[in-house]
Amino acid sequence: MSGFMGNGSTGNGFAGFVLRRAVGVLVTLLAISVIIYVVFYVTPGNVAQITCGPRCSPAQVQQVADQLRLDDPLYVRYWHFLEGLVAGQDYSTGTAVQHCPAPCLGLSYQSDQQVTELILTKLPVSLSLVFGSMVMWLILGVGTGVLSAWRRGRLSERVLTGVTLVGVATPVFVIGLVLMIVVCGELELLPFPQYVNLTDDPEQWAWNLLLPWLSLALIEAAAFARLTRSSMLETLAEDHIRTFRAYGVGERSVIGRHALRGAFAPVIALNANNVGSAVGGAVLTETLFGLPGIGRELVHAVDVVDLPVVVGMVLVVGFFVVIANALADVLYAVADRRVVLA
Amino acid sequence: MSDVLIASQAPGGTDLSVPPGASGARQFWRRLRAQRAALVAAGVVALLVLVALAAPLLTAIEGQDPTTYHPDLIDSARGGVPIGSFGGISGEHWLGVEPQTGRDLFARLVYGARVSLGVALAATVVQIVIGVVVGVAAALGTRWVDQLLSRFTDIIVAMPLMIMSLALLAIVPSSFPRPVLVAGVIGLIAWGNIAKIVRAQTLTLKGLDYVSAARLSGWGTWRIARRELLPGLAAPVITYAAILIPQNITVEAALSFLGVGMKPPTPSWGQMLTAADVWYQAAPQYLLLPAGALFVTVLALTVLGDGVRTALDPRAASRLRVGTGRRREAKVASVTAAASVTTATSAVSATSVASVTGASGASGESGESGGAAQGGAS
C-alpha cells in the first residue's frame, strides 16, 4: 500500500475516495435511521396499548402514551431521537429522572433499561460469534475453493463440489440443530453450549462457541468455496498464467500465489456483502444455542413489541453492515487501483 | 449470499444479455436439458410443486387434515410422546403424529410445502416487480431520478434482510393475513440487488442501435421500455429470480423458526423445527421430515438455479461444454443477426424480439472474452 500511496497523483485520488466513502457511510446511516424510525413508529398497532398490556384501562394507556411521547408529531420525536444519539437525554421514568448519555438510543418500553447499555452488554457475545465464525468460514471456504480448483476434474473435486452444494442448500438452523443433537446429545463430545466470557476463561469461551461457530461457518464457507474456485479457474485460464508455466514456475506456486491473487478481490467483496446475511445467521444460531447475544435479544424484543430496543438493534446492525461494505470498498481499491478512477 | 456474484456480473456487461425470445427460448431449453443435474433438480421441483398444489387431495386420500388434534394418539403420561412405534406411524397416519398435539405429520408436511413454495414465489414476484420498475426508471429517468433511485437502492441493499423482516413482522398486527404479510415483507426489503442488475442491463440495452432507432422514430419512453427493453431484461431477471426463490424459502423458514413468520395453526416447515429438537429421541421424524423437506427443496431449487444461469450465460455454457458442437450454427446465426440489426436500424417496425435475440445470442456464442468478475458462475 505504501507504494500505492507514494504515487503522488493517485494518492490524492485515493484520499478523496476514502473521504467520499466516509461521507457516503454517514448519509446512508442517517437515511437508514429515518426509514427505520418512520416505518417503525407509524405502526398500525397501538404501541401504548401493547406496551401497557391487554388489561390496561384507557386512562392507563393514555398515561403510557404521554410518558412515551407518542402524541408528539413524528418529526419531533425523530429529532429527539437524534438529539439523544448525539448529546444524550434525560428521561423521566415515573418517579426518578434517568440520564441517558450519548449515544442514547432511548429506553426500553418493557424494562426502562437504556437501549445502548442493553446492546453493549449483548454485543460481545454476537461479536465473538460472528468474528470467530468469520475466521472459520474464510479458512474453510477459501481452502476448499483452492483445493477444488487445484484438483480440477478429479474425483476429489467432485466430492468437494457436492459438499459445498449441500452447504449452500442447508439453512443454518438445520445444520445447527443436527450438529447439536449429534455432537452434544448423542455422542456427548461437547456439553450443550453455554456462553462464557472471553475475559473470564478464554479456553471455555472457545469450547462453548465451537459448535455455534461451526454451524454458521459451514453455511457461509460454501459460498466462499464456490466463489474462490470459479475466480481461480478464471485466472488460471488467463495468458499470464500460461506465461508463468512456460517459464517453468511450479504448479504449487502458480496455484498458491498467482491464481489465488485473482480470488482476493471477489472474496473481500463477498465477505463484506455477507456480513448482513451472517448477522441474520447469527440471530438463528444464538436462538438455537441459547447464546445471550443481540440476535436473541432482538427476537425477544420483537415478541414483546419493545420498539426502542428493536430500532436500536436494527440501527446497530445496519451500522456494522454499512461499515463493513465501506471497508471492503476501500480494501478493494487498495487491491485494484482501477476502482479509484471509476 | 450469492447476491454479490450476480451483482458483480451485471456491470461486466453483456454476458447475461441473451433475451429468450422465440429462438432464445429454444436454445435455453436445449442448454438446460444438456445438464443432467439441472434436469433431475427440475424434476424434483416439479414434484414438490405438484405436492403443494395437490395438498388437499393428498390429505383427503390419507383421510386426515393438518389442524385436527388427536389427543388419543399421544401419551400424556410421558409428556406427550406419540403412542406406538416410530412416532405413531400407522395406516391412518402415514408419517406419524406430532408430539403433544397429535396432529397428522403427513398433512402438516404437504401443507407446509404449500406455505413454503407459495410464500417464496409471491415474495420473488414482489421483488422482481419492484426491482424492475426501480431499475428501469433509474436507467431511463433524468440524472436526478437516477441518483435518487440509485442511492435509495444502495440503502435498501445495506439493510440486513433477516433483521429487518424480523423487526417489521413485529409491528404489524397479528390480524393481518400472515402468508401475505411474510411474502410482502421479504419482497419489500430484498429487491435492491435486482434493481441494480436491471439498471445496469437497461443502460447497456439503451445504448444499442435498435433502441436508438426506436427512439429516433419517435417512440415514447414507455413504449420503448415495454416493447424494446423488457424482452432484453428477461434473461438477467430470470437468472436472478432462480437464485431468489430458494433464498426466500430459507428466509421464510427461518422467520417461522424464530416464531415471527407463519403463526400456528398454519403449518410451516420452519415452525415445525422450532419444537422438534426436544422430541428427537421419541419422534425423530418430527425433526427429520421438515428438515429434510427444507433441504431437498432448497437444494433442488439451487441446482436448478445454477442450471438456468448456465443455460442463459453463453460463456458459462461453452466453458462447461454444454450445448456445444453448434459452431456452424452460431456462425450462421451471427451473420443473420448482423443482417437483422441492419434491418432494425433502417426499418424500425421490424425490430422485433427475434432479431435482438439473434444479435446478442450470437455475439455471446462467438465467445468474446473480457468483462470483470464473472464470479461463481459454475
Residues in A closer than 8 angstroms to B168, CB to CB, are 39
Residues in B closer than 8 angstroms to A158, CB to CB, are none
pLDDT at B209: 84
Residues in A closer than 8 angstroms to B172, CB to CB, are 43-45
Q: Are B227 and B205 in contact (CB under 8 A)?
A: no
Q: By CA distance, what is A226's nearest residue in B?
A: B376
Using the Cβ of A227 and the Cβ atoms of chain B, whether some distance falls under 8 Å is answered with yes
Q: Could you list the pLDDT tens digit for every one of the 378 residues in chain B?
A: 444 444 434 443 444 444 444 457 777 888 888 888 889 999 999 999 999 898 888 887 777 777 777 777 677 776 667 777 666 667 676 677 777 777 888 888 899 899 999 999 999 999 999 999 999 999 988 899 998 998 888 888 877 888 888 888 877 776 778 888 899 989 988 898 899 999 999 988 888 888 888 888 888 888 888 888 888 888 889 888 988 999 999 999 999 888 888 887 788 888 888 877 777 777 777 888 889 999 999 999 999 988 888 888 766 656 555 444 444 444 444 434 443 333 333 333 333 333 333 333 333 333 333 333 333 333
Using the Cβ of A49 and the Cβ atoms of chain B, whether some distance falls under 8 Å is answered with no
**Is this complex's ipTM strictly greater than 0.90?**
no
pLDDT at A1: 39
Chain A to chain B, count of Cβ pairs less than 8 Å apart?
Answer: 167
Distance from CA of A297 to the nearest CA of B (A): 12
Residues in B closer than 8 angstroms to A166, CB to CB, are 299
Using the Cβ of A185 and the Cβ atoms of chain B, whether some distance falls under 8 Å is answered with yes
From residue B86, alpha-carbon distances to A181, A309, B95 in Å are: 18, 44, 9
Using the Cβ of A30 and the Cβ atoms of chain B, whether some distance falls under 8 Å is answered with no
Residues in A closer than 8 angstroms to B280, CB to CB, are 181, 185
Q: By CA distance, what is A165's nearest residue in B?
A: B299
Contact state of A317 with B160 under an 8 Å Cβ cutoff:
yes
Measure CB to CB from residue A227 to each of B172, B303, B376 and give the nearest one: B376
From residue B341, alpha-carbon distances to B217, B333, B334 in Å are: 16, 12, 10
Contact state of A302 with B169 under an 8 Å Cβ cutoff:
yes
pLDDT at B134: 95
Contact state of B258 with A180 under an 8 Å Cβ cutoff:
no
pLDDT at A50: 65
Q: Are A315 and A85 in contact (CB under 8 A)?
A: no
Contact state of A231 with B3 under an 8 Å Cβ cutoff:
no
Using the Cβ of B377 and the Cβ atoms of chain A, whether some distance falls under 8 Å is answered with yes
pLDDT at B121: 94
From residue A330, alpha-carbon distances to A16, A267, A342 in Å are: 11, 14, 13
DSSP states of B169-223 as a string? Answer: HHHS-TTS-HHHHHHHHHHHHS-HHHHHHHHHHHHHHHTSHHHHHHHHTT--HHH
Residues in B closer than 8 angstroms to A177, CB to CB, are 273, 276-277, 287, 291
CB count within 10 Å of CB A221 equals 27
Task: Give the Cα separation of A209 and A193 in Å (integer).
Answer: 7
Measure CB to CB from residue B291 to each of A28, A35, A177 and give the nearest one: A177
From residue B334, alpha-carbon distances to A223, B27, B28, B331 in Å are: 36, 14, 17, 5
Contact state of B160 with A227 under an 8 Å Cβ cutoff:
no
- The model's pTM: 0.78
pLDDT at A3: 41
Using the Cβ of B37 and the Cβ atoms of chain A, whether some distance falls under 8 Å is answered with no
Residues in B closer than 8 angstroms to A172, CB to CB, are 254
pLDDT at B342: 35
Measure CB to CB from residue B166 to each of A32, A229, A302 and give the nearest one: A302
The residue extents of the domains of chain A are 11-110, 118-303
Distance from CA of A186 to the nearest CA of B (A): 10
- Summarize pLDDT for B171-201 with one digit per residue, the tens: 777 677 888 889 998 998 889 889 999 999 9
Contact state of A314 with B163 under an 8 Å Cβ cutoff:
yes
- Summarize pLDDT for B328-360 with one digit per residue, the tens: 444 444 434 443 333 333 333 333 333 333 333
**B contact test, residue of A137, A144, A152, A173 with most B CBs within 10 A:** A173
Using the Cβ of B172 and the Cβ atoms of chain A, whether some distance falls under 8 Å is answered with yes
Task: Give the Cα separation of B260 and B167 in Å (integer).
Answer: 9
Contact state of A177 with B246 under an 8 Å Cβ cutoff:
no
Using the Cβ of B266 and the Cβ atoms of chain A, whether some distance falls under 8 Å is answered with no
Using the Cβ of B253 and the Cβ atoms of chain A, whether some distance falls under 8 Å is answered with yes
Using the Cβ of B303 and the Cβ atoms of chain A, whether some distance falls under 8 Å is answered with yes
Q: Could you list the pLDDT tens digit for every one of the 342 residues in chain A?
A: 344 444 444 456 778 878 888 888 888 888 888 887 777 776 655 666 666 666 667 777 777 777 667 777 778 878 888 888 887 777 766 666 777 777 888 778 777 788 888 899 888 899 889 999 999 999 999 888 888 888 877 888 888 888 888 888 888 888 888 888 888 877 877 777 778 777 788 888 888 888 899 999 988 888 888 888 888 888 888 888 888 888 888 777 887 777 777 777 778 878 877 787 788 888 899 988 888 988 888 888 888 778 888 888 888 888 888 888 888 777 777 766 555 544
Task: Give the Cα separation of B212 and B229 in Å (integer).
Answer: 11
CATH of the domain spanning A118-303:
1.10.3720.10
Strand ranges, E, within chain A:
89-93, 96-100
pLDDT at B320: 54
Measure CB to CB from residue A174 to each of B2, B291, B302 and give the nearest one: B291
- Which single residue is written with the C-alpha cell 415495454? B226
Task: Give the Cα separation of A5 and A15 in Å (integer).
Answer: 9
Contact state of B167 with A177 under an 8 Å Cβ cutoff:
no
Measure CB to CB from residue A314 to each of B164, B376, B377 and give the nearest one: B164
- Which single residue is written with the C-alpha cell 426518578? A96
Task: Give the Cα separation of B45 and B49 in Å (integer).
Answer: 6
Task: Give the Cα separation of B345 and B275 in Å (integer).
Answer: 64
Q: By CA distance, what is B8's nearest residue in A?
A: A266
Contact state of A281 with B276 under an 8 Å Cβ cutoff:
no
Contact state of A283 with B166 under an 8 Å Cβ cutoff:
yes
